[in-house]
Chains A and B, each alone.
Chain A
Amino acid sequence: MVLGFVLLLIFFTLVFKKDIQTLLRVLQIGIKKEFTTKSGGICIVTLLLVAFIGLLFISESNLKYWYMLLFKGRETELDFSKAEAFWGVIGTFIVNCVLLGIMRSKKP
């Protein structure tokens, strides 16, 4: 499985070399701009809001009750851990940085 994953990684790196390079450059610009611009600030505030609401729902049983009451149906359980919520927020942050980097980098 590990070998397959490594082979797949090598394949993707070779085929999409240019894309990966562009993505990394864009990410670098985005991370810089995330903490220095107004739009970056908006995104950080949004992410903090998402993290806060997520943690609130995980820890507060009252909110869980209301949530279940409002959206009663299949797959409504809040069966995810704090670690999952953390990685979700980190993932959103990376996407955010990429988008900001795309907007702030030079046009082709």
Chain B
Amino acid sequence: MNTRSDIGSYPGEHGRESRELDYEKSLPQDVSKQQLERLYLLFQTLHVTTKMEAEATRFHVTVEMDKTRTELKNVIQEGDLTVIDCIKFNSAKNIQLISLIAIGTTVFSLLISFLLKINILNPFFAGLFLIASIGFYLMATVEQKRS
């Protein structure tokens, strides 16, 4: 039968002591208690800093989103708005997206042509369109980096 002192996880005084002793035994000999405390403090500081950074980032993102929403609202509320005006809003991203859709479609078509011999698009035009779309995507990426 187990005695009270044998049970390491028992929350009594004796049990806690034995656990602490085991913990100290398992540590390397050259690590002192002071060093451990310092490490603990360091981890605590790091944790607090990371938490603060996360909060700040969240706040920043929220502010940015609010700003974008307001800008978008202003754009939509303008009377004489053309399709090009809509594309102009975050234009590089829009063009990147359109190019990616075009690239995906042509690659899919070429794959189907190559594997199943069924031509959704004429493979020759699909190939040329793929190269042109890659060019558009690169152009949008360069423009995005510039701005």
Contact = CB atoms under 8 A, between A and B. Distances in A.
A105 B88 contact: yes
A54 B132 CA distance: 12
B89 A57 contact: no
The DSSP consensus for interface residues of chain B is helix
Interface residues of A, number: 39
Given A18-B82, A75-B122, A76-B122, A50 B131 contact: yes
B142 A38 contact: yes
Interface residues of B, number: 35
A39 B88 contact: no
A71 B131 contact: no
A96 to B, nearest CB: 7
B139 A43 contact: yes
The DSSP consensus for interface residues of chain A is helix
B8 to A, nearest CB: 67
Contact of A99 (B124, B131, B139, B142): B139
Contacts, number: 101
A73 interface: yes
Nearest to A74: B119
Contacts of B117: 71-73
A75 to B, nearest CB: 5
A42 B143 CA distance: 11
Given A26-B84, A103-B143, A108-B81, A46 B123 contact: no
A42 B138 contact: yes
B81 A99 contact: no
Interface of A: 18-19, 22-23, 26, 38-40, 42-43, 45-47, 49-50, 53-54, 57, 67, 70-76, 78, 88, 92, 96, 99-100, 102-108
Given A42-B138, A50-B131, 19 more contacts: A18-B82, A19-B84, A23-B84, A38-B142, A39-B138, A40-B139, A49-B135, A50-B128, A53-B128, A67-B123, A71-B113, A73-B113, A75-B122, A76-B119, A76-B124, A102-B88, A104-B143, A107-B91, A108-B78
Q: Which 4 pairs across A and B sit closest by C-beta, in order of nearness?
A: A46-B135, A73-B117, A71-B123, A39-B142
